[in-house]
Amino acid sequence: MDMKKNYKQSKTLWGSKVRKELNEFAKSYTYSFPFDYKLYEEDIGQSIAHVQMLEKGKLIKHKEKKKFLNVLKNLKKEISQQIKLNKFKTNKDYEDIHTYIEKKVTEQLGDVIGTKLHTARSRNDQVSADTRLYIRKNGVGVAGLLTELIHTIHNLAEKHKYIIMPAYTHMQLAKPVYFRDYIRAYSEMFKRDMLRIENCLGRLNFCPLGSGAVGGTHYRTINRKFIAKELEFSDYIKNTVDAVSDRDFVLEYLFVLSMIMMHISRLSEDFVMWSSPQFKFITIDESFMTGSSILPQKNNPDVCELARGKTGRVYGNLMGFLTVMKGLPMSYNRDMQEDKEALFDSNDTVITTLKVYIELLKKLKITDRNKENMMNAIKVSKGFANAPRYVDYLVEKGYSLRNAYEFVSRLVHYCTLNDLDFDKLEDSHIDEFINNESKIDRKSIKYLRQYSKKSGIRNFIKTGLRACSFNNYLRTGSRKRHTTLGNSAVSDVNKQLTQERKEIRNIFKQIQHTYSTRLP
């Protein structure tokens, strides 16, 4: 067979082995250039470090290195400008971003020099390095947005630090809490997300370059430590099989992004409820609401609902790529290409969601009407929101916790049967309850006599109910002492907010200092 007759120059990196032109359907099915072009900065950055290493290893000449550096830096500017102007074309002539860059370099430098760029490198270790650098860059960016989101939450908490609202468990009223403590619970969630990012970046910050297709290269003069240092990795990956097989770092980052969206989704759920006519605890700015095409009375919290919905999309990316990886043999397989779309989509979704939520929170309002609705939601509970405090009161007087709980439970049951307010019981109601109690539990009456001392059982119960009433809590002096109503007493909140802000700044500074790098 005449080999020259069947040979055709290909724009793929493997074209000299496969003689036939790739089927058009196969081409569109396998080519990743339409989405992996997003790695152009990382690919050019590591190529710059790579040619510097090649020169040190005497695999290219100094003059060739200078030409490579000049072309690569200009190509980076050119691509960046084209993307900004929306003129960058990902045509089918190029299989992926790696092929595009190498071919563009070769077009300018010619075959003799340009084709040396891929010396001692495979796309297997190349794409792993690109993806690690991409996650490192974007992880720092996401941490920065989380920092801004948390500071926005802290500002909201400080602005409304005296507002009292109902807290729910199982969607039933549990007890009154401060709004500032409720909303700051989300800042704690997002803080943990920042710490997860820091840990994730720490585990992925190792350089796979020099691993080749698998098992390393035969070039003795390459310096893996040098290129790892140039790209500001912590070190190079020792096992060259693992270096090209591993996608744990992608999965871990997808998990971190999923956790962020889960927390956003829970916040969205609260905001959807709180802004509804049935609650009216908060007022979302109309610039973040939409109307109905047929129901003129509607203001729909579409931003919150979409954020809640997009959480499932980010979960899907994680679960999809977990499924891809579960049955793959060592080492590199083309299935791994599926990580890119999942990674890019989840990363972009989280970034846009965080940005819109920062703006939404900045414009969130709690009006006087909202405050009144929060108070009314507590009051319509017929005083049962005070029952937990009454248990604590009895324990403080000497009751065991279980005995106090059982006693208050029976008192709540009595009020429920007779449609009475827990903190508005009259003497006749208390007397009736005591008579019933003596028939049900004589030990309870014995306890009451023991702890009521000279005041009498009725007065002992009345005094406790009055001390634990919501109206008594609202008095300033009493409120300052109620550290267990929320997470902190009123007098401590400013100090806590200052400490929390400082902690968040320090976490971000550490992430930024360690992982925010400029590529060559």
DSSP string covering 287-318: GG-B--SS-TT--B-HHHHHHHHHHHHHHHHH
* Whole-number pLDDT of residue 391: 92
- Distance of alpha carbon 396 from alpha carbon 191, whole angstroms: 35
Peptide bond into 258 cis (omega under 30): no
- Distance of alpha carbon 228 from alpha carbon 243, whole angstroms: 13
Residues marked as catalytic: 170, 292
Question: By CB neighbour count within 10 A (0-12 exposed, 13-18 middle, 19+ buried), where does 444 fall?
Answer: middle
- Distance of alpha carbon 14 from alpha carbon 17, whole angstroms: 6
Indicate the length of the chain as a whole number: 520
Q: Are 423 and 468 in contact (CB under 8 A)?
A: yes
Task: Of 42, 206, 73, 254, give the one whose Cα is nearest residue 137.
Answer: 42
Residue entry with tokens 């109910």 = 465
**DSSP code of 290?**
B
Structure tokens, 515: 């992982």
- Distance of alpha carbon 138 from alpha carbon 106, whole angstroms: 30
Residues 6+ apart with CB under 8 A from 261: 307, 310, 311, 314, 315, 349, 350, 353
pLDDT digits (tens), the chain, 520 positions: 443 444 344 556 545 555 678 888 888 888 999 999 999 999 999 999 999 999 999 999 999 999 999 999 999 999 999 999 999 999 888 999 999 999 999 999 999 999 999 999 999 999 999 999 999 999 999 999 999 999 999 999 999 999 999 999 999 888 888 999 999 999 999 999 999 999 999 999 999 999 999 999 999 999 999 999 999 999 999 999 999 999 999 999 999 999 999 999 999 999 999 999 999 999 999 999 887 768 767 788 999 999 999 999 999 999 999 999 999 999 999 999 999 999 999 999 999 999 999 999 999 999 999 999 999 999 888 888 888 889 988 898 888 899 889 989 999 999 999 999 988 889 999 888 888 877 767 777 777 777 776 668 888 888 888 888 877 777 654 555 555 444 555 567 888 899 999 999 999 999 999 999 888 8
- Indicate the SS3 state at residue 333: coil
Q: How far is CA 209 from CA 116, 222, 493, in A?
A: 16, 10, 50
Residues 6+ apart with CB under 8 A from 68: 47, 48, 51, 60, 105, 109, 113, 117
Q: Determine which helix (DSSP H) or strand (DSSP E) holds 404, and give its type and residue range.
A: helix 401-417
Dihedral angle sign, alpha carbons of residues 49, 55, 60, 66? positive
* Whole-number pLDDT of residue 482: 54
* Whole-number pLDDT of residue 481: 54
Residue entry with tokens 């909202």 = 370
* Whole-number pLDDT of residue 508: 98
Question: By CB neighbour count within 10 A (0-12 exposed, 13-18 middle, 19+ buried), where does 467 fall?
Answer: middle
Residues 6+ apart with CB under 8 A from 481: 489
- Indicate the SS3 state at residue 48: helix
Give me the phi and psi of 385, to 5 degrees please.
-65, -15
* Count of beta carbons in the 10 Å neighbourhood of residue 445: 16
Residues 6+ apart with CB under 8 A from 414: 420, 429, 432, 433, 436
- Distance of alpha carbon 244 from alpha carbon 334, whole angstroms: 12
Q: Determine which helix (DSSP H) or strand (DSSP E) holds 347, and give its type and residue range.
A: helix 339-362
- Indicate the SS3 state at residue 190: helix
Question: By CB neighbour count within 10 A (0-12 exposed, 13-18 middle, 19+ buried), where does 417 fall?
Answer: exposed
Nearest-10 Cα torsion for 316, 322, 326, 332: 120
- Distance of alpha carbon 54 from alpha carbon 108, whole angstroms: 19
Q: How far is CA 39 from CA 34, 126, 393, 444, 514, in A?
A: 11, 11, 62, 72, 21
